[in-house]
Chain A
Amino acid sequence: MEFGLFFELSVPRPFSDGVERTVYENALEQVRLADTLGFDTVWAVEHHFLEEYSHCSAPEVFLTACAVQTRRIRVGHGAVVCVPEMNHPVRVAERAAALDIVSGGRLEVGTARSSTWTELGGFNVDPDTTKKTWDEYVRVLPKMWTQERFAWDGVSFSMPERSVLPKPVQKPHPPLWVTVTSPGTELDAAARGIGSLGVAAASFAEQERRTREYHHRIRHCDPVSSVVNDKVATLNFLYCHEDARHAAATGMRMLGLFSFYNANLLPTREAYPTRAYQSLGALAPTPGAEAGSPGAPRGIPDGIAIGDPDRIVQAIKRWESIGVDALNFIVNTVEAIPQEDVLASLRLFATEVMARFRKGG
């Protein structure tokens, strides 16, 4: 089992001077600690205009800072939005290759298509087209990284022959993923031979079914590249403390706030009727939505890594048993947990939980 940190870079109101800087600096401190503790990957989203929920609109900059401040941990786009109005595919390839060089070959590249009207509308993107443009991007990126010269006559873009530079350190290229929010996208990933980067909550039973179908489908994939990334990663929430009651109260406050801010996003389908976006895409397990405020203590949903070390170990063993390869943790939301407590949670998790999933642990 691999373990990662997953950053939305959520910022609490009021947006006073320095608050965004504090969020970024705290996140970087968490990444530096995670690097020394043996976490495998740090992921950063790409979101635009999402007040409070995510101020991570330039993940390549944040991830570059992560890379230069660490030695071992991998850095991952979770994920680059693959629509031309936001990111031209050549710029995606160029920036990724440069980051792969700067990080010494530690880059993971997640791909996505954005799901909110706030973002798509802000860039004047036609929601009906994003699945098509994403599909085109994941096919051309490996070509741009591996071919000496590249030309394309496509649907979302065309270009004459050019050398797309630089080339990535990892050969043939960094691992490719797609973020999975809506059920079924994991099969799109499998069909193309790319990793399934889950960013939506799923029950054990649901994830087991999806993982089984993903592994079945990827055996017969038509890969977009000469290498297949057959990993399944899922999103989780981490707050680890020796006192189970304290862990539950603190961790569930974080989870409740994340659920609230996530529910307050404006899904594309709510504003714009389309068959291209079928799911409203709740990213967090919703604990008793009408039953209390986001800060009220409630039961910890199955599989969520909130609790004392023994409880978290049991949850992770269950994820491991159903074929999940990696868990990526959100460790704070709108700075609801003091930074020192987040760091202490990471340290305890590393010594009492992560060690038991390493060789010899």
Chain B
Amino acid sequence: MLFGTADVDALAARAPVMERLDTEPLVLPGTWVLQVTYEMAAAAREALLPPALHPTDPPLLSWTLLRCTSGPLGAFAIAQLRVECRSGLRPRGFLVASVIDSVDAGRVLTARWGYGSRAGDVHLARQYDAVGGTVRLDGRTILDVALRDPDPLGPHDIQYTASMHLAHTPRGVRLVQVDPTFAVERAERGRPHLVAFDAAAWGDVRIVPMHPVSASIAVADVTLPRLRYLCRPDVWAFDGTETL
């Protein structure tokens, strides 16, 4: 049985602050969702996760880029890097870092769901032969990925796992479970292609993409939910899960 071995104090040092946990749901209509998944080097699979979480075999990382053109937060785009994992029996993604191109939207997403995004440029470009996603931080490209040769999928053929966001909460340092719903209007799958990834800029040089797995693009109404569960990061989820 494998557990995460990351130092919780070190992770918490860069975790955002959430003053409240009683947030209401928020709908982001017509959002483009590009998700690219790679297998990553197994050497650090436990070291990247807090002890509450278990690594997958093989370890997977996902870059998820959302572009929202309307809705209560206005137009914005956000890019997330997550390491897939398990919380108890449940599939989850541990949020390593995120970048957002709107300071105002970022403030809301951090305060209510613990995204902790840094400000940067996030660009998602849709062509007929490919969908590209780029992230720039302080003038440097830290991610350049693409979905190539898209093919239609059914709206129910894509599965998104819930996220675990480490944050300073009124209950202390906790993993905040964020499980958005995706009402998918249309979806496509294609070949994943990675041009550039700056692991250090994303917070951990041990994250090494090794093998392409999948890429998908969808248009969906994304609902960021009311928070339901927290989890202590230092003990496994069977003992550390707290209901809100």
Select from chain B the residue with minimum beta-carbon distance to A284: B89
Given contacts A271-B60, A271-B214, contact A289 B157 (CB under 8 A): no
User: In chain B, what residue has the closest Cβ to A269?
Assistant: B159
Please, which residues of chain A bring their CB within 8 A of the CB of B236? 293
B157 and A266 form a contact (CB under 8 A): no
Contact assessment for A263 and B57 in the assembled complex, using a CB-CB cutoff below 8 Å: no
Contact (Cβ within 8 A) B89 A260: yes
CB 8 Å contact bits of A259-279 with B (1 = contact, 0 = none): 111011110011111110000
Flag whether B223 is at the interface (Cβ < 8 A): no
The interface bits of chain B over 72-116 (1 if a CB of A lies within 8 angstroms of the residue's CB, else 0) are 000000000000101011110000000000000000000000000
Given contact pairs A271-B37, A292-B238, A260 touches B189 in the complex (Cβ within 8 A):
no
Q: Is the CB of B89 within 8 A of A275?
A: no
- Contacts A51-B57, A266-B60 given; indicate if A273 touches B157 (C-beta within 8 A): yes
Cβ 8 A contact of A275, one of B84, B153, B216: B153
A-facing mask of B199-234, CB < 8 A → 1, else 0? Answer: 000000000000101101000000000000000000
Apart from the given pairs A266-B60, A270-B161, 11 other A-B contacts in the complex at a CB distance below 8 Å: A260-B1, A260-B89, A261-B1, A263-B86, A266-B84, A270-B91, A273-B153, A273-B157, A273-B214, A290-B237, A293-B239
Task: Give the CA-CA distance A270 to B84 in the complex, in Å.
Answer: 9
Closest residue on chain B to residue A267 by CB atoms: B91
A21 interfacial by beta-carbon distance below 8 Å? no
Q: Does B64 contact A (CB under 8 A)?
A: no
21 contacts across the A-B interface (CB closer than 8 A): A50-B57, A51-B57, A117-B213, A121-B39, A121-B58, A260-B88, A261-B1, A263-B88, A264-B54, A265-B57, A266-B56, A266-B84, A270-B84, A271-B214, A272-B213, A273-B158, A273-B159, A273-B214, A274-B153, A289-B88, A294-B238
> Which residues in A have their C-beta under 8 angstroms from that of B90?
263, 289
- Which of A49, A269, A273 contacts B57 (CB under 8 A)? A49
Contacting pair B239 A264 (CB below 8 A)? no
Output the nearest chain A residue to B37 by Cβ-Cβ distance: A271
User: Are the C-beta atoms of B187 and A264 separated by less than 8 Å?
Assistant: no
Quote the shortest CB–CB distance from B158 to chain A (angstroms): 4
Bound Cα distance A292, B157 (Å): 32
A286 contacts partner chain B, Cβ-Cβ < 8 Å: yes
Query: CB of A118 within 8 A of chain B?
Result: yes
Question: Given A264-B86, A289-B89, are A273 and B187 also a contact pair (CB < 8 Å)?
Answer: yes
Interface of A: prevailing SS: loop
Complex: A233 Cα to B184 Cα, angstroms: 38
Do B88 and A290 touch (CB < 8 A)? yes
A325: interface (CB < 8 Å): no
Query: Which of A49, A290, A292 has the most CB atoms of chain B within a 10 A radius of its CB?
Result: A290
**Across the interface, which residues of B come within 8 angstroms of A50, CB to CB?**
57
How many residues of B are in contact with the other chain, CB < 8 A?
32
Asked if residues A118 and B154 are in contact (CB atoms below 8 Å), the reply is: no
Q: Is A359 an interface residue (CB 8 A)?
A: no
Asked whether B163 is an interface residue with its Cβ less than 8 Å from the other chain, the reply is no
**Cβ–Cβ < 8 Å partners of B60 in chain A:** 266, 271
Query: How many angstroms between the C-alpha atoms of A52 and B57 in the bound complex?
Result: 11
CA distance A122 to B88 in the complex (A): 25
Chain A 29-56 interface mask (CB, 8 Å, partner B; 1/0): 0000000000000000000011110000
CB of A358 closer than 8 Å to a CB of B: no
Interfacial chain A residues near B117, Cβ < 8 Å: none
Whether A266 contacts B58 in the complex (CB less than 8 A), given A273-B158, A274-B157, A293-B236, comes out as yes
A263 to B89, CA, bound (A): 5
B241: chain A residues within 8 A (beta carbon): 290
Tell me whether A259 and B91 are in contact in the complex, defined as CB-CB below 8 angstroms, given that A121-B58, A271-B37, A271-B213 are known contacts: no
Chain B residues with CB under 8 A of A294: 238
Chain B residue, CB-CB nearest to A286: B89
A336–B89 CA distance with the chains assembled, in angstroms:
19
A288 nearest CB across to chain B (Å): 10
Residues of B within 8 A of A289 (CB): 88-90
Q: Are B58 and A118 in contact (CB under 8 A)?
A: yes
Q: Please give me the residue from chain A that is nearest to B211 by CB atom.
A: A121
The answer to whether A259 and B216 have CB atoms under 8 Å apart is no
Residues of B within 8 A of A264 (CB): 54, 56-57, 86, 89
Chain B residues with CB under 8 Å of A259's CB are 89
- Residue of A with least CB distance to B214: A272
Closest to A52 in B: B1
Q: Which 4 A-B pairs have the closest CB atoms?
A: A263-B89, A293-B238, A273-B158, A272-B214
The proximity string for B residues 37-68 relative to A, scoring 1 for CB distances below 8 Å and 0 otherwise, is 10100000000000000101110100000000
Determine the distance from Cα of A306 to Cα of B66 in the docked complex, in whole angstroms. 48
Which residues of the partner chain B approach A293 to less than 8 Å between Cβ atoms?
236, 238-239
Contact with A along B142-173 (1 / 0, CB 8 A): 00000000000110011101000000000000
- A80 CB to nearest B CB, Å: 23
Residues of A within 8 A of B237 (CB): 290
CA distance A269 to B153 in the complex (A): 13
Chain A residues near B238 (CB-CB < 8 A): 290, 292-294, 296
Q: Considering the chains assembled together, what is the distance between the CA atoms of A118 and B241 in angstroms?
A: 28
A263: chain B residues within 8 A (beta carbon): 86, 88-90
